[in-house]
């Protein structure tokens, strides 16, 4: 983060995220984008579970995995496979559909 942005943050000012993002190295930008993809998927999975009103324990039981695994998925810490996505779909009575936008 460059000095100008650090000073603005220290003063409690709002900083445009594009300026902040641009201040990082290309490698760090790629890491951030990768993490954002994991978090987006995690939020969708958590939203589905909440809509179905099932607990992490119940989903874990249906998938025959530990609850901690579900927690890691929903926090974006777990890189999941297509097989895992299909198992989640089966456990929730949904169909996993993959497409590009």
Instruction: Give the pLDDT confidence score for residue 93 in this predicted structure.
Output: 96
- Return the CATH architecture of domain 3-92: Orthogonal Bundle (1.10)
Residues, the chain: 101
In 3D space, the residue among 70, 68, 75, 66 whose CA is nearest the CA of residue 92 turns out to be 70
Q: How far apart are CA 40 and CA 81, in angstroms?
A: 15
* Residue 3 neighbours by CB distance under 10 Å: 8
For residue range 1-60, list pLDDT tens digits in order. 678 778 887 888 887 878 788 888 999 999 999 888 889 889 999 999 999 999 999 999
For residue range 56-90, list pLDDT tens digits in order. 999 999 999 999 999 999 998 888 899 999 999 99
First-last CA distance in the chain: 32
Radius of gyration of the chain (CA): 18
């Amino acid at each position: 983060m460059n000095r100008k942005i650090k000073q603005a943050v220290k003063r409690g000012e709002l900083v445009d995220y594009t300026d902040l993002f641009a201040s990082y190295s290309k490698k760090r930008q790629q890491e951030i984008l990768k993490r954002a993809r994991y978090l987006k998927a995690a939020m969708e999975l958590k939203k589905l579970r909440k809509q179905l009103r099932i607990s992490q324990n119940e989903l874990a039981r249906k998938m025959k995995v530990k609850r901690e695994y579900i927690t890691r998925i929903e926090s974006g810490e777990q890189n999941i496979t297509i097989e895992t996505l299909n198992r989640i779909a089966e456990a929730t009575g949904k169909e996993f559909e993959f497409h590009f936008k």
